[in-house]
Structure 1
Amino acid sequence: MESALVDVCDEAIRRRVNIFLDAEQHHVQPGIDKVALDLMRRYNRGDVAVVFNTYQAYLKSTSVTLLDHLHCAKQEDFIIGIKLVRGAYMSTEPRHLIHDTKAETDASYDLIAKSLIQGQSAAWKQDESFTSPRLQLFLATHNRTSTLKAQELQQSRTNAGLPRIQVQYGQLLGMADEVSFTLLQRNKQNIRSQEFVTSEVYKCLTWGTIGDCIFYLLRRANENKDAVLRTLAEYHALRREVIRRMRSVFPF
């Protein structure tokens, strides 16, 4: 397996793409973390991260795990690639490992993202001596509030002349398009106002036959049951856009 991973990472470098290691259930995650750190030590030595590990904010242990990995990256001088998600295995994980409410998970996600962007230790108060290593952050979320909080924090740090890390954003293709488009619209506004702070926005596309992808797609649909709750917000966003376009052609 190690030789296969090395081949994949070597090819990723040749093609100038990133490798994201997905998160799994808690009983196998330590092994994935070890592999991810080993690959980062080898491939994340340059100016950009090639390998990213996934961290699930709904787990109570995530702040501690992430702090340990940040210390490792700092001590060994490699870039840590962090993909931050809320979490995907509530139906199979022991309940006591997960935050008690969705609000607590949301707060955990936002606090971790804020702490990483600011290079501060708010998310891990047990270690006030923490200083951030080199890192790149990929926020994989359909949550509009979390996304815009992070983007606005990046903007405020730029306006204040403070150092910024690279933050990228991603949503599944066909879901939370209004979140993706809002980020892109803000990019245009920033360029027009000569505030050259732009957000890289990605859509995750599943590639393969229906037979290859069906179980993955079913799991994604199950994980995103709250998409129904976003339907009304997206309806209003689409309605506003239709009205805006009509007014640009037929002023009234």
Structure 2
Amino acid sequence: MSSDSEENNMEMPQFRLIWSPYAELTEDDLMDKDLQDTLTQLDRPNEQDLTENPNPTNQVQEESHSENLVNASVNPHFDAQYMDMTEHDIEQFIDGQQNKNTLTKTVRDIALLNKFLKAKNENRELQTIPPVELDPLLANYLLTLRKKDGGEYEQSTLRSIVSSIDRKLKRHKYGHSIAGSTTYQDEAFRLTRESLKAKQKVLKQKGKGNKPLRSQPITDDKINILYERNVLGDSCPDSLLRTIWMNNCVHFGLRGVQEHYTLRFVTYVSHFSKCI
């Protein structure tokens, strides 16, 4: 009896595996309505998974397209669940498949850019500013940008910031790209690109861009030390969870929080069936 009561009183380990796009943002981050709507959609649970009854407001729309859905259901070339998607639905589906770290970084980068634009007395949405006005603003922004401690960013960080701005503009079908492509470079953002190149040269002269934070592969000896110190292993729930995480990274090639969170038993079955 005493052993049963002790087991009942044991404190169960708590694991927080639910990711929220708001997790790393602060009240100081200035976001536009478009990015707020995207984050809200991703942070909201899927209501269709929580109920078996369809939404009555969607019933009329579903009936109006019933003939298309019936035709799609008997045609193996079309997936009926995507047949009735609107442009807004497609945009939200694309957002849902984005890497969450990329999305969070994009929100942070655009929030910081919005602060700069406000300081320059520019209150228009980024995607509504004509290229002839936006180009010098972005060029000025890249030359001005610093860390909170006043230090310089790495070259790769500046390039990733430009990529975040490009993603924002592309989402709104802006019609012009900062980075361009390998065969074409948009003249609308020539000043921004030239400023980025000049800033990178200055940073290189200061020793930036040598990847000082580059990750190094972990050796077998270091892994053994982790087991010896019970960081990995089965000594407690935490060490067991770390071991599972590490094995999933090594043997399944998982990266990022979301891939670990969405891992299911069928993944193991599929993996081992290929090895047999």
> What is the TM-score of this pair, normalised by structure 1?
0.23
Task: Name the one with the larger strand percent.
Answer: 1
Higher relative contact order (CA 8 A, sep 6+): 2
> What is the TM-score of this pair, normalised by structure 2?
0.22
Task: Name the one with the larger helix percent.
Answer: 2
